Amino acid sequence: MYKLLRSSLMSAGLVVILTLSAPGQAAPRQPGELAWAIHYDPKTFDPAKVDEQESEFVRYLTGGVLLRINRQTQQLEPHLAESYQVSPQGTLIVFKLRSGLRFSDGTALTSGDVAWSLRRVLAPATQAVVAEEFLLPAEVTVDTPDALTVRVHLPKRIIGIGKIFDEIAIEPANRPSEGRVTSGPFTVTDYKRGQYVRLSRNPNYWRRDSSGAQLPYASGVRLDILNNREQEISLFLRGEYDLIDRLSPDYFSIVAQKSPQSVRDLGPSLNTEQLWFNEFPGAPLPEYEKAWFQNQSFRVAVSEAIHRSDLARIAYDGHATPAYSFISIANQLWYNHDLKYPHESTADANRMLAASGFHRSGNQLYDASGHPVKFSILTNSGNPARQKMAAMIQQDLAALGMQVTIVALDFPALIERLLHKQDYEACLLGLSDVEPDPSSEMNIWMSSSPNHQWNPSQKTPATPWEAEIDKEMQIQASSSLQHDRKVAVDRVQQIVADQQPFIYLLYPSALQAISPQLKGVQPAILSPGPFWNIEFIRRQGGAR
Amino acid sequence: MSLPMRIVTRVGRTLLLMLFVAAGTILLVRFAPGYFADSREMDAKYAEAARSEIQAENSQQQSLSLIAIREVKGWIKGDFGESRQYHVPVAELIGARIRVSALLLAEGILYGWLIAICAALPVSSLRKGGLLFGLPFTILLAIPAAAMATACILAETGGPVLVLSLLISARDFKFLRSLLEGEWRSPHLLQGRAQGLSPLALVRMHILPSVVPQLRALATLSIVTALGALVPIEVIFTVPGVGQLAWSAVMNRDLPVLVAVSLLMASVVGFAGLLSTRTLTLEEA
Amino acid sequence: MRTRIAAGILLALILGAGLVLWLMPYDYAFQDRDAIMAPATAQHWSGTDELGRDRTVRVSAALLIGLAGASAAAAITTMIAAGFGLVAAFSRPAIAAILMFLSDVFLSLPWLFLLMMARSLLPLTASPMQTAVTTFLVLAALGWPACARAIYRGAAALRSAEWMIQGYACGLKTRQLIRLHLVPHLRPLLLPQFIICVPAFIVAEANLGALGLGVGEPMPSWGAMMLELDNSALLARSHWVYLPIALLIVVLLLLESFTTEAETNV
């Protein structure tokens, strides 16, 4: 029997041996290399074909651009272009390149390469997303009077044209290399799908620091492909990762506890969380439900019943700010400081519903025709903060007698219901990577747009207020006067606050974790967040 | 049946299995919600580009027969078609990952079995206290794989092999203990014990030979359990194996990858079935 | 004796959970927003969860829903596996081969997509109970193939056992032999299968929440509570997150003591 019992000890011993293996270590770090995680494989390394976030990060780190937006000041700064001028009519931009520019392989970078890169982006065959920002890309022309001058001819003025060039990487003419030959701070040197992307310093990068030392300071960047938050945090706390972009609120306190100097709460971001109702007339919903959702009083009552401060405190652990507009309060240039919006008050909400023909019987609210007010809120699975918000909204609306069911779907199924079939009642989602300029949201606010979520692709505006929003958004997109634009955007914000097509809930805070070993970091709210000034970032004592 | 005939039958069965599985996968994936959806449609910046891509794809992907033809062309070419999410040949995606997953599976099943057998043998022979000694495995059954993985990560020790082996050992232990307890109670074993045969001798000469058919059947079950556990474990530990690829393919409705993964699964299941079939064939002979 | 004690404890757990739900002043959905992740107090015996909901009440409700759903689903799937395996074992070789082929096809297909379709067929306003029942039924319908083959092999091996032949010789019909003699011999396969399925289905139900199935809010899900164990942030804030898994272990031990007793009585 002892021999048999010994075998049970063997069993335990095997477990111990297996336990000694490591759960997952990051690949060994090269000297001077920075490292952090991205959540998915970049779909492409071709900077002209970037159409999702992880590829955008790689383009940011490798692509040399004519102009770069300083993510802290939001001002345009010359990069490959030493200077630029926009004609008074706004239809001609002239760039003067710096002299002596080289690609990472040592070949000269001239106006020919810039023209080729621009034309490639504008070409319909490339299907570059950034081409749409030129409004009429087919009518844009580029010429090069000399090796250092590039002239871009636009068919019409484009507000904020400069920022578009922040997204166009300059590549060697006729030699697209998918990030292997670049004019930016790094080049792609290794990629293992599902594991990592490795970038190395561009030895011919144009930029130098104030003492004349060549940039970037770091010898390279390793982007590990990792979609497990627990592992990411564990590796960060062990010092194997240098930063965490988009730290989630429930992990903020854990990291803060273990490494207080690492965490950054930069305050409200430009992102928003919002709830909206399906107002599409052709939606496969009963007519009485459509009547509720198209009723302004119904929407305003729902907005008044939701306790936004609780959502911020509980669902986001205090790392969010109540929201009432699509422009974040962090966007000081565009936020309407005189905005009048429905305030939190369940009593007012009840009164508003009663005035609109709804009545209560026990715990159930009924409409004027006697239908119980029951509807579902659709949201995406895998977002714990949003699911907590949904459960809290469910309770808040129960106080009005509304019975709400929460349905969390995976993204493809959600998008099919939302955008293809319009088969939903209410939806809770967020808008992320929002840009400061309201022009970037034209395709949400224009009633004819497929992204005009509550009632998309309208042939003519369904309501007078949507017609007014269309008009004001056109004004802000075409006027060159900041004051006129601001007035128009303020008016749109007020209409949205009055009509509540989107019931804005929160502005989540920008949460980041940055290793105390890093020097030169200037965290910003705008993407790419902590590493927007990557050339100046290095690990302590481990630069060149 | 002669050996060549048996081989032909087995190969034919596996090919038929793969055909049915491919057809079933195409049907299930094509008609599941979200096949023509792209998460970029929700991003105001990329929505237009995503929509044009979907429209272009729509014309080719609407018809089942077109999809099936494209799949067959991919199999004949040997690249299994092009991945919808990565736009590279599926064979290239899977080829790099098969070895990783195969190793993980092999280690997980081997260690899982060793742990389960080493524990089940003595515990099943006990007259009392079996429930108590089996408690660690009951606890393992209760703990979700994700929780085990988090525990490994927090403790900075253990890994995917440990979690997979523990999951398999917990299940196998239950079956093995049940099986072996029955054997220990059989009259000829009781007589053997009474006559002073050592427990090890009883196990070697009487118990193991009589439970071999059930062990083979359990081996099949283990392989299937391990296959099922592979996806969550590879996803949680970010192991670059077939399971991780399969999960990404599910989330992105990547039909060519899913067909290829299902075919792989079918061939492994077919092989697992072969293990238990062989014994029965010998017995019948 | 052991069975009676185990049954008594299980019944006490179930009755206790029922009493908690009946007597406690708040229901499982009530959010005490001033007591988020609160420790155990006289008001909240095992503290509150992330939304300020009483943990004792929620765990009690989850126990009743999860135990009923997972046990029923586990029983159904085991019976389907047994039926399938036995039919195959006692059929002609060609039919057995077809049935095993079908079970292999069933095992290899990505049924996750069928679950997505199931969700899309349910109305969006389906109640949490309706989605929970649908989920457990679908799990029961999909969980059988892995075990069916093992049961087929086991039954096929026992088909030619001496006592089976003697039974035939005594005039017993196949159905009688299966019911009275064969199934008890298959208990070493059937009962562990049932035990293993219970926690597997509890967790699977929570994982299916990602597809819109499972037990919907605000109804508490035992599986979702168990999945909290993979969140280190929660583990650091409260030890009461271990309560659901502790209860599950107790329930599994109790179920196991029934099954081992049943095997001993063969």
Q: Tens digits of per-residue pLDDT, A313-323? A: 999 999 999 99
pLDDT value for A449: 92
Burial class (CB in 10 A: 0-12, 13-18, 19+), A102: middle
Question: Is C263 in Cβ contact with B181 (below 8 Å)?
Answer: yes
Distance between CA atoms of B87 and A291, rounded to whole angstroms? 45
Q: Which of A503, A510, A492, A494 is nearest to A433 (CA)?
A: A510
Residue with tokens 């922040």: A166
ω into residue A185 within 30 of 0, thus cis? no
Contacting residues for B73 by C-beta, under 8 A, at least 6 apart: B81
| Tokens representing residue B70 in the block | 């494209």
* Mean pLDDT rounded to a whole number for chain C: 89
Residue with tokens 């109804």: C219
Which of A254, A313, A425 lies at the smallest CB-CB distance from C233? A254
Percent of chain B past pLDDT 70, that is, above it, reads: 93
* Mean pLDDT rounded to a whole number for chain B: 84
Question: Are residues C14 and C247 in contact, defined by beta-carbon separation less than 8 angstroms?
Answer: no
Which of A250, A310, A390 lies at the smallest CB-CB distance from C33? A310
Helix axis angle for C243-264 and B135-142, nearest 10°, is 130
In the stretch 59-88 of chain B, residues with CB closer than 8 A to chain C read: none
First to last CA, chain C: 16
Q: How big is the B-C interface in CB pairs under 8 Å?
A: 164
Which of B47, B154, B251 lies at the smallest CB-CB distance from A443? B47
Distance between CA atoms of A467 and B67, rounded to whole angstroms? 43
* Mean pLDDT rounded to a whole number for chain A: 93
Question: Is B154 in Cβ contact with A18 (below 8 Å)?
Answer: no
Distance between CA atoms of B5 and B9, rounded to whole angstroms? 6
Centroid of chain to Cα B256: 20
Residue with tokens 């996803």: B235
* Sign of the torsion angle spanned by Cα atoms B189, B193, B197, B200: positive
Question: Is C252 in Cβ contact with B174 (below 8 Å)?
Answer: no
pLDDT value for B283: 40
Q: Does residue B213 register a pLDDT over 80? A: no
Question: Is B47 in Cβ contact with A451 (below 8 Å)?
Answer: yes
Query: β-pairing, A374-380 with A426-431?
Result: parallel
State the pLDDT confidence band at B202, using cuts at 50, 70 and 90.
Answer: confident
Helix axis angle for B90-125 and B208-237, nearest 10°, is 130
pLDDT value for B279: 46
Could you give the ipTM of this predicted complex?
Answer: 0.90
Distance between CA atoms of B237 and B146, rounded to whole angstroms? 9
pLDDT value for C57: 96
Chain C residues touching residue A409 (CB < 8 angstroms): 119, 211-212
Q: Does residue B86 register a pLDDT over 90? A: no
Least confidently predicted of B184-193, C75-84, C164-173, C208-217? B184-193
3-class SS at C110? coil
State the pLDDT confidence band at C266, using cuts at 50, 70 and 90.
Answer: very low
Question: Is C33 in Cβ contact with A388 (below 8 Å)?
Answer: no
Question: Is B165 in Cβ contact with A52 (below 8 Å)?
Answer: no
Q: How big is the A-C interface in CB pairs under 8 Å?
A: 78
How far is CA A519 from each of CA A215, A246, A313, A536, rounded to the nearest angstrom?
14, 20, 32, 8
pLDDT value for C192: 86
Question: Is A195 in Cβ contact with B34 (below 8 Å)?
Answer: no
The model's pLDDT over A82-131, given as tens digits with 9 standing for 90+, comes to 999 999 989 999 999 999 999 999 999 999 999 999 999 999 999 898 99
DSSP B52-79: HHHHHHHHHHS-HHHHHHHHHHHHHHTS
Among left, alpha and beta (phi > 0; psi -120 to 50; other), residue A142 is beta
DSSP C132-160: HHHHHHHHHHHS-HHHHHHHHHHHHHHHT
pLDDT value for B59: 67
pLDDT value for C189: 82
Question: Are residues A262 and A514 in contact, defined by beta-carbon separation less than 8 angstroms?
Answer: yes
pLDDT value for A21: 61
Q: Does residue B281 register a pLDDT over 50? A: no
Chain C residues touching residue B261 (CB < 8 angstroms): 110
Is the minimum CB–CB distance between B175 and chain C shorter than 8 Å?
A: yes
Closest CA of chain B from C176, distance in Å: 22
Query: Dmax of chain A from CA atoms?
Result: 96
Q: Which of C244, C239, C238 is nearest to C224 (CA)?
A: C244
The pLDDT of B127-136, averaged and rounded, is: 81
* Sign of the torsion angle spanned by Cα atoms C126, C129, C133, C138: positive
Contacting residues for A479 by C-beta, under 8 A, at least 6 apart: A159, A485, A488
| Amino acid in position A33 | E
How far is CA A255 from each of CA A313, A334, A537, B145, C239, rounded to the nearest angstrom?
18, 33, 21, 24, 19
pLDDT value for A522: 95
Burial class (CB in 10 A: 0-12, 13-18, 19+), A514: buried
How far is CA B119 from each of CA A381, B136, B145, C57, rounded to the nearest angstrom?
40, 10, 21, 38
Is the minimum CB–CB distance between A459 and chain B shorter than 8 Å?
A: no
| Subunits adjacent to chain C (3 or more Cβ pairs under 8 Å) | A, B
Distance between CA atoms of A266 and A524, rounded to whole angstroms? 7
Question: Is B221 in Cβ contact with C150 (below 8 Å)?
Answer: yes
pLDDT value for A96: 97
* DSSP count for chain B of H helices, then E strands: 13, 0
Query: How many residues belong to chain C?
Result: 266
pLDDT value for A24: 55
Which of C36, C119, C124 lies at the smallest CB-CB distance from A424? C124
Distance between CA atoms of C152 and B117, rounded to whole angstroms? 23
Q: By CA distance, what is A389's nearest residue in C?
A: C51
Q: Which of B202, B128, B231, B133 is nearest to B173 (CA)?
A: B133
The pLDDT of C122-138, averaged and rounded, is: 92
Distance between CA atoms of B129 and C69, rounded to whole angstroms? 30
Following CA atoms A244, A245, A251, A255 in sequence, which dihedral angle do they give, to the nearest 10 degrees? Answer: 40
Distance between CA atoms of C256 and C262, rounded to whole angstroms? 10
HSE (side-chain half, CA atoms, 13 Å) at A270: 22
Centroid of chain to Cα A353: 36
The model's pLDDT over C74-121, given as tens digits with 9 standing for 90+, comes to 999 999 999 999 999 999 999 999 999 999 999 889 888 988 988 888
pLDDT value for A9: 66
Q: By CA distance, what is B55's nearest residue in A?
A: A420
List phi, psi (to 5°) of A519. -115, 150
Question: Are residues A427 and A379 in contact, defined by beta-carbon separation less than 8 angstroms?
Answer: yes
Query: β-pairing, A320-322 with A502-514?
Result: antiparallel
Least confidently predicted of A306-315, C53-62, C207-216, C219-228? C207-216
Distance between CA atoms of A325 and A445, rounded to whole angstroms? 13
Mutate to test the interface with C, among A231, A254, A288, A405 (most CBs of C within 10 A): A405
Percent of chain C past pLDDT 90, that is, above it, reads: 52
Most confident of A349-353, B83-87, B147-151: A349-353
pLDDT value for A139: 94
One digit per residue, pLDDT tens: chain A, 544 residues? 555 566 666 666 767 676 666 555 566 788 999 999 999 999 899 999 998 899 999 999 999 999 999 999 989 999 999 999 999 989 999 999 999 999 999 999 999 999 999 999 999 999 898 998 898 899 999 999 999 999 999 998 888 888 899 999 999 999 999 999 999 999 999 999 889 999 999 999 999 999 999 999 999 999 999 988 889 999 999 999 999 999 999 899 999 999 999 999 999 999 999 999 999 999 999 999 999 999 999 999 999 999 999 999 999 999 999 999 999 999 999 999 999 999 999 999 999 999 999 999 999 999 999 999 999 999 999 899 999 999 999 999 999 999 999 999 999 999 999 999 999 999 999 998 889 999 989 989 999 998 899 999 999 999 999 999 999 999 999 888 899 999 999 999 999 999 999 999 999 999 999 999 999 999 999 999 999 999 999 998 644 4
